[in-house]
Amino acid sequence: MAFDRLIEKIIAMQNPTVAGLDPKLDYVPASIKEACFAKYGKTLDGAAAALFEFNKALIDALCDVVPAIKPQAAYYEMYGWQGVKALCDTIAYARKKGMFVITDGKRNDIGTTMEAYATAHLGETEVLGQDIEAFGADALTVNGYLGTDGIKPLADICKEKDKGIFVLVKTSNPSSGELQDMKLETNESVYEHMGRMCEAWGEELVGESGYSAVGAVVGATYPEQLKEMRAKLPHTFFLVPGYGAQGGGAEDVKFAFDKNGIGAIINSSRGIMCAWKKQGLTEEDFAQAAKNEAVRMRDELLGAIGRIGG
Amino acid sequence: MAFDRLIEKIIAMQNPTVAGLDPKLDYVPASIKEACFAKYGKTLDGAAAALFEFNKALIDALCDVVPAIKPQAAYYEMYGWQGVKALCDTIAYARKKGMFVITDGKRNDIGTTMEAYATAHLGETEVLGQDIEAFGADALTVNGYLGTDGIKPLADICKEKDKGIFVLVKTSNPSSGELQDMKLETNESVYEHMGRMCEAWGEELVGESGYSAVGAVVGATYPEQLKEMRAKLPHTFFLVPGYGAQGGGAEDVKFAFDKNGIGAIINSSRGIMCAWKKQGLTEEDFAQAAKNEAVRMRDELLGAIGRIGG
């Protein structure tokens, strides 16, 4: 199962961090932008090329310290199909460097449409008898509002192709409670109900680690719910956003881990991408600064959760 | 407001239909595929070119009869960034032909990430002081599971750029009730709660038609809920999937309309794209068959709802 692969990497590196690659053009150093705009013009092509160069340098700097990246689809779509090409290229580059790739797309639909998303992001597209990876990530974030019809096609691909998904359960944002915290007449909250569905969807996809291919997104900014969900969802691996810029700290996210220090991966996006600002470095040193921050974050997390994998 | 523009087109054409452009390669006639694969090889480029040629022919045939198209992002992403380019090209082509374009992406995220999606699909991306449309649709489907934080950036762009969104409220699939029908302790169901949030999100975005820029997706396969939502959400314009292949008929979808016969647009995807199969025509006649079906569907809908716009 895909999360067994991820957990092995996390244990080997003793680092439960995923680097969020959400590259706004503003984050890209002037030297990279100048070179790309000189080559491709002041166009979406130029912007997308700059994003990919930025990502490559980050991946080169991080791949020995961080087990996974999480590119957020929105930031690539913002630069049109050219940006989406940069997403494809980033995924391929990170996988070549041995990293586990989680595409953060929060995709959701039903039936054959969800099959198309599953094929796009985790599977292979058939073109005249040839199977071609369209995006080729290891895992995809998804939204479960449509119920089992929207998850089944993903679960099938997870099983067949050794991939994983993360279903939104309790998100890290201030307004997440407007729907997710509402109490149902069963006395469960909406997020508890969604969490329980994740356990059910993953039931036949549990790997050697004890975690299934159906993970959940649970935000660092709600440590109580993180603790509660960890206890109630023993087979569900967590992707935890909200550390750093959004306010979650190591003492908050430690609740995402089981007694062996596994069961979760913690995301940092801006904290890593823009680390040079906090380290008194120049923007040209962004990659080294990102690595410094990844090391600092790793040590901080290990300080809170202890050795990973016993 | 964007849905005023759409409603004007619907009234002028007396047709509340949106053609879903969800082009699987299997739907594309052999002659188009052969030409594209000969030109671009047996690659994603070839497949994507075939999708775009197929869409162009459909748009040419439909643009005098149908006011809007709804390309479903999943089917384009399945063919990689090349497929996403075909989505961009399809949107531009349909808009040039005067059609209203709803990108069915069911996007969802928070804060700056949702801003990136809003910019990508409905706004303009700044590249060195130039504003460039990345996708340039008129409206986007979105998922409201994350609450107001995920809708606010869209609402801002709707206001500024005259665009619209459709939030998933009650989807057409069999398992939609697993979460959406759950009763909250307030005695509302989850979908009613979501619907009420749509009214609130659209409150300051109501146009001359009486409908706001925040629409809702409510499936044709649940006519009772459609009727209930129409009564409870007087300012929320509906996008109604599930007509045709999924089982909803004109007698089901008539409940989506107000007493003036406005307030909704009904989607048909496979029914239109693959109409040649039911008309005893060959696949090469797909475009004429699609138009025939669009006319038949229009007449069937008008039969059920009467004249549109009084």
Full pLDDT tens readout for chain A, 310 residues: 899 999 999 999 999 999 999 999 999 999 999 999 999 999 999 999 999 999 999 999 999 999 999 999 999 999 999 999 999 999 999 999 999 999 999 999 998 999 999 999 999 999 999 999 999 999 999 999 999 999 999 999 999 999 999 999 999 999 999 999 999 999 999 999 999 999 999 999 999 999 999 999 999 999 999 999 999 999 999 999 999 877 888 999 999 999 999 999 999 999 999 999 999 999 999 999 999 999 999 999 999 999 999 7
Say if residues B230 and B182 touch (Cβ distance below 8 Å): no
Interface test with A, best of B32, B78, B183 (most A CBs within 10 A): B78
> Does residue A7 form part of some domain?
yes
Distance CA A170, CA A192 (A): 8
A189, part of any domain: yes
Over the stretch B185-202, which tens digit does the pLDDT of each residue have? 999 999 999 999 999 999
Chain B residues whose beta carbon lies within 8 Å of the beta carbon of residue A182? 184-186, 190, 193
What amino acid occupies position A221? T
Strand pairing report for A125-127 and A130-132: antiparallel
B310 part of a folded domain: no
Given the structure tokens 């040419």, which residue do they identify?
A: B60
Asked, for residue A308, whether it belongs to a domain, the answer is no
- Provide the shortest C-alpha distance from residue A24 to chain B (in Å): 9
A91 touches chain B (CB under 8 A): no
Q: Residue A1's pLDDT is what?
A: 81
Interchain CB contact of A199 with B (< 8 Å): no
Contact: A193, B173; criterion CB under 8 Å: no
Using a CB–CB cutoff of 8 Å, tell me whether B179 touches chain A. yes
Domain with B40 in it: 2-305
Partner A contacted by B84 (CB < 8 A): yes
Contact status of B148 with chain A (Cβ, < 8 Å): yes
Catalytic positions of B, please? Answer: 106
Identify all chain A residues contacting B150, using CB atoms and an 8 Å cutoff: 173, 175
CATH of the domain at B146: 3.20.20.70
**Is B175's CB within 8 Å of A147's CB?**
yes
Nearest by Cα to B275 from B95, B12, B65, B44:
B65
Chain B hits for A78, CB-CB cut-off 8 Å, are: 116-117, 119-120, 125, 134
Nearby residues of A64 by Cβ (< 8 Å), 6 or more positions away: none
Mean of the pLDDT values across residues B76-91? 98
B173/A47 CB distance under 8 A: no
- Terminal Cα-to-Cα distance of chain A (whole angstroms): 21
Å from B183 to nearest chain A CA?
6
Looking at chain B, which residue has its C-alpha nearest residue A82? B81
In 3-state terms, what secondary structure has residue A245?
Answer: coil
Q: Quick check: is A309 in a domain?
A: no
Distance of CA B22 to the CA centre of its chain: 11
Catalytic center residues of A? 106
**Per-residue confidence (pLDDT) for residue B1, from 0 to 100:** 81
C-alpha B1 chain-centroid distance = 17
Q: pTM of the prediction? A: 0.97
**Is the CB of residue A119 less than 8 Å away from at least one CB of chain B?**
yes
Answer whether A14 touches B (CB < 8 Å): no
Nearest chain A residue to B47 by CA distance is A127
Task: With a cut of 90, say whether residue B244 has pLDDT above it.
Answer: no
Alpha carbon B268 to its chain's center: 9
B239 domain-assigned: yes
Contacts of B217 in chain A (CB under 8 A): none
Query: In this structure, is the dihedral angle defined by the CA atoms of residues A153, A155, A156 and A157, taken in order, positive or negative?
Result: positive
**CB nearest A110 (choices: B108, B128, B171):** B171
Using CB atoms, which residue from B79, B88, B132 is nearest to A125?
B79
Distance from CA of B90 to the nearest CA of A (A): 12
What's the total number of domains in chain A? Answer: 1
| B107-153 tens-digit pLDDT | 999 989 999 999 999 999 999 999 999 999 999 999 999 999 999 99
Judging contacts by C-beta atoms under 8 Å, the chain B residues touching residue A130 are 42
Confidence class of residue B237 from pLDDT cuts 50, 70 and 90?
Answer: very high
Residues of B in contact with A148 (CB under 8 A): 175, 178
Please compute, for residue A115, the number of CA atoms within 13 A of its CA located in the half-sphere on the CB side: 7
Alpha-carbon span B197 to A207, nearest angstrom: 39
- In which residue are the tokens 């609130």 written? B200
Tell me if A296 is assigned to some domain: yes
Q: How far apart are CA B89 and CA B98, in angstroms?
A: 14
Is residue B224 within 8 angstroms of chain A, CB to CB?
no
Query: Is A66 inside any structural domain?
Result: yes
Q: How confident is the model at residue B246 (pLDDT cuts 50, 70, 90)?
A: confident
